[in-house]
Amino acid sequence: MELDKLTLGEIRSMQSLLAGNQSCNDTHWEIGKNYFIRTVTHHYTGRLVAVTRYELVMEDVDWIADDGRFSEAMKTGNYNEVEPFPDGRVLIGRGSIIDAHVTNNKLSRIIK
């Protein structure tokens, strides 16, 4: 294949194949559920609204600055320090995720 002889249609076709932010058919994630997510640097809670190839798209997101006793926080949803994001969507890079789990706890959305 000679790159300088590609047609516009061929280039567009290649772009769509290589697009990095397309929907992802990963069945591990449950859209609409609340999650507790640990990344390499931060902890978050929020409601999952979409999954793309490289990001989780979440709403009603809190940054958990201090989760306190971990097992107790996972059972109760009570954290020592919570900082809510402004309303709207938040993208979390999937490559930074250490672990995640669906939580039945109510999302905090208040500064603690």
Of the candidates 35, 30, 56, 46, the one whose C-alpha atom is nearest the C-alpha of residue 87 is 46
Cβ-contact 49, 89 below 8 angstroms: yes
Per-residue pLDDT tens digits for 7-66: 877 777 766 666 555 556 677 899 999 999 999 999 999 999 999 999 999 999 999 999
Instruction: Please compute the mean of the pLDDT values over residues 91-102 and round it to a whole number.
Output: 96
Please report, as a single letter, which amino acid is at residue 112.
K
- The confidence score (pLDDT) of residue 20 equals 54
Q: What DSSP state is assigned to residue 52?
A: B
- The confidence score (pLDDT) of residue 23 equals 59
Instruction: Please compute the mean of the pLDDT values over residues 76-84 and round it to a whole number.
Output: 95
Domain ranges of the chain: 23-102
Residue whose pair of structure tokens reads 């290649």 in the numeric block: 14
If one compares 43 and 4, the residue with the highest pLDDT of the two is 43
β-bridge pairing 55-66 and 43-51: antiparallel
pTM beyond 0.85: no
β-bridge pairing 90-93 and 97-102: unpaired
Question: Tell me: domain 23-102, CATH 2.30.30.100, correct?
Answer: yes
What CA–CA distances, in Å, run from 56 to 15, 23, 70, 92? 22, 10, 23, 5
Enter the tokens of residue 25: 């058919």
Cα 109 vs. chain centroid, distance in angstroms? Answer: 17
- The confidence score (pLDDT) of residue 22 equals 56
